[in-house]
């Protein structure tokens, strides 16, 4: 699946991000995560999305190294957790993440959550890491319009990405519009609705008509909207299925049917509640 490596989006840092990445939240530390990363890289994925709070940075690093894929061909993301927010705390947490990953730099470092009272000083630390080129790109996660507006008013560097929960069932249209206006790439997390809508009749019908699976339809919807998608699985067959997205397209009718599914479905924490 050559396209997994070659289908990329240019970030405001100049880096190219592969549009499909392996998510590893709730991927157990140890063999399960190492195997998932190895399998994904063997299949052609070139992007892994972890976080300090996932507890598996060490295994992601081992998987990347054991894969034999050159470091500069794998896009590795990690994130700053809330307990590490603050300027100096963030710098220390970044060093600890790098140490666990066993890497000299990360491709993308994200502010995981728009923590009130801390997010702006945390962002200044990320800007420093970016200027030092230890984080090749920096971005935010779970930032909605009020959080982004505040940050854009103060930031020296515009975030390269905003990683948010995004599916046909939760479309965050205002946030996407603001990001588009500022050249911020959207990364869609929980793109499979964490399994909650894989049996939705519209998704199932599109999948049947195109001879694909419901998971592939949801991921393809994200790709055609220009998002990065981050499906998580620890199962080889599903990692393969979730990467087989480049030999079909959703026709305009399918896109319209999926676009009509908005229902405000938040499967994780809702950042709208964070002031």
Nearer to ligand NAP, 30 or 88 (CB): 30
Nearer to ligand NAP, 185 or 215 (CB): 215
Residue 112 beta carbon to ligand NAP: minimum distance, rounded to whole angstroms:
6
57 touching ligand NAP, by CB under 6 A: no
Burial of residue 221 (CB within 10 Å: 0-12, 13-18, 19+) is buried
Which segment (81-89, 126-134, 191-199, 201-209) binds ligand NAP by CB under 6 A? 191-199
Which residue numbers are catalytic? 54
Structure token digits, residue 190: 């929980």
CA 3 to chain centre: 18
Question: How many secondary structure helices (H) and strands (E) does the chain include?
Answer: 11, 10
8 touching ligand NAP, by CB under 6 A: no
Residue 53 beta carbon to ligand NAP: minimum distance, rounded to whole angstroms:
9
Half-sphere exposure of 44 (CA within 13 A, CB side): 16
Q: How many residues bind ligand NAP (CB under 6 A)?
A: 28
Nearer to ligand NAP, 195 or 226 (CB): 195
Q: What is the DSSP letter of 115?
A: -
162 touching ligand NAP, by CB under 6 A: no
DSSP string, 234-264: SSHHHHHHHH--SS----HHHHHHHHTT---
Residue 51 beta carbon to ligand NAP: minimum distance, rounded to whole angstroms:
7
Q: How many CB atoms lie within 10 A of CB 55?
A: 18
Nearer to ligand NAP, 76 or 91 (CB): 76
Residue 108 beta carbon to ligand NAP: minimum distance, rounded to whole angstroms:
12
Q: How many CB atoms lie within 10 A of CB 61?
A: 23
Q: Using the CB atoms, write b or e for 235-271: b if 16+ within 10 Å.
A: eeebbbbbbbbbeeebeeebbebbeebeeebebeeeb
CA 23 – CA 45 distance, rounded (Å): 11
215, 244, 254, 258: residue in contact with ligand NAP (rule CB under 6 A): 215
| Residues from 229 through 268 that contact ligand NAP (CB under 6 A) | 230-235, 238, 241-242, 268
198, 210, 240, 272: residue in contact with ligand NAP (rule CB under 6 A): 198
Residue 35 beta carbon to ligand NAP: minimum distance, rounded to whole angstroms:
12
18 touching ligand NAP, by CB under 6 A: no
- Enumerate the β-bridge partners of residue 8: 18
Nearer to ligand NAP, 22 or 91 (CB): 22
8 Å CB contact between 88 and 94: no
8 Å CB contact between 222 and 262: no
Which segment (5-13, 123-131, 170-178, 228-236) binds ligand NAP by CB under 6 A? 228-236
Nearer to ligand NAP, 55 or 191 (CB): 191
| Residues from 67 through 126 that contact ligand NAP (CB under 6 A) | 112
Can you give the binding site for ligand NAP, defined by CB under 6 A?
23-26, 49, 112, 141-142, 163, 189-195, 198, 215, 230-235, 238, 241-242, 268
């Amino acid at each position: 699946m050559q396209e997994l490596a070659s289908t990329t989006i240019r970030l405001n840092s100049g880096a190219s991000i592969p549009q499909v990445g392996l998510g590893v939240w709730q991927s157990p530390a140890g063999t399960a995560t190492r195997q998932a990363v190895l399998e994904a890289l063997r299949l052609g994925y070139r992007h892994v999305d972890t976080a300090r709070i996932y507890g598996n940075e060490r295994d992601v690093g081992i998987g990347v190294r054991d894969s034999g894929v050159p470091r500069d061909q794998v896009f590795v993301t990690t994130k700053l957790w809330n307990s590490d927010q603050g300027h100096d705390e963030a710098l220390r947490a970044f060093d600890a993440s790098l140490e666990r990953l066993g890497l000299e730099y990360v491709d993308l470092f994200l502010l995981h959550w728009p923590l009130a009272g801390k997010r702006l000083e945390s962002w200044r630390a990320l800007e420093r890491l970016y200027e030092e080129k230890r984080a090749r790109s920096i971005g935010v996660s779970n930032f909605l319009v009020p959080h982004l507006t505040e940050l854009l008013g103060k930031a020296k560097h515009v975030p390269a990405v905003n990683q948010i929960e995004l599916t046909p069932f939760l479309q965050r249209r205002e946030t996407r519009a603001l990001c588009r206006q500022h050249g911020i790439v959207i990364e869609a997390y929980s793109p499979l609705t964490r399994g909650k809508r894989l049996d939705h009749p519209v998704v199932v019908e599109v999948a049947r008509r195109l001879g694909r699976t419901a998971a592939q339809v949801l991921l393809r919807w994200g790709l055609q909207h220009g998002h990065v998608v981050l499906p998580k699985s620890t199962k080889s067959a599903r990692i393969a299925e979730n990467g087989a997205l480049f030999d079909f397209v959703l026709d305009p009718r399918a896109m319209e049917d999926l676009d009509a599914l908005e229902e405000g479905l938040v499967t994780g924490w809702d950042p709208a509640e964070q002031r």
